[in-house]
Amino acid sequence: MLIYSVFVFLPYFYGSLYSEEELNFLFYMPVKPLFEIPYWFGWIIYALSMFCYLSIYFGYTIVRYLYVAVLFFNVLFSILSGVAAYTGFEISVIVILSTIDGIVLSFLFLNKQNSG
């Protein structure tokens, strides 16, 4: 959850981390998105992800289908949102998050004890 929160709130610190030239490069999008995703949609995905992580942590495995739906929409909208440039740190966080998501999914659906 902490890593996901770092990834979500990282753009708010760009002004203090990068120069103006680097910011222009980071926000230049060579391929425009197929459709504009509303700003509030990211916050809804973030809130649902946190709800799923907390529910799974406290043993409510029935939320696993909501977790799969949140991951599906996250992947779908990131595919449709165009091409963007990321820093090395952001790529590392994305890889860690993807790995954690895969581990959580495998525990939720392959564990015989949680099949109820």
Q: How many residues does the chain have?
A: 116
Say whether pTM exceeds 0.75.
no
Tell me the mean pLDDT per 10 residues along the chain, length 116: 78 78 74 75 88 88 89 85 77 88 88 58
Task: Report how many helices (DSSP H) and strands (DSSP E) the chain contains, helices first.
Answer: 6, 0
Residue 72, pLDDT score: 92
pLDDT of residue 115: 52
Nearest CA to 87 out of 2, 32, 11, 3 is that of 11
Q: What domain range is 52 assigned to? A: 2-114
Q: How many domains does the chain have?
A: 1
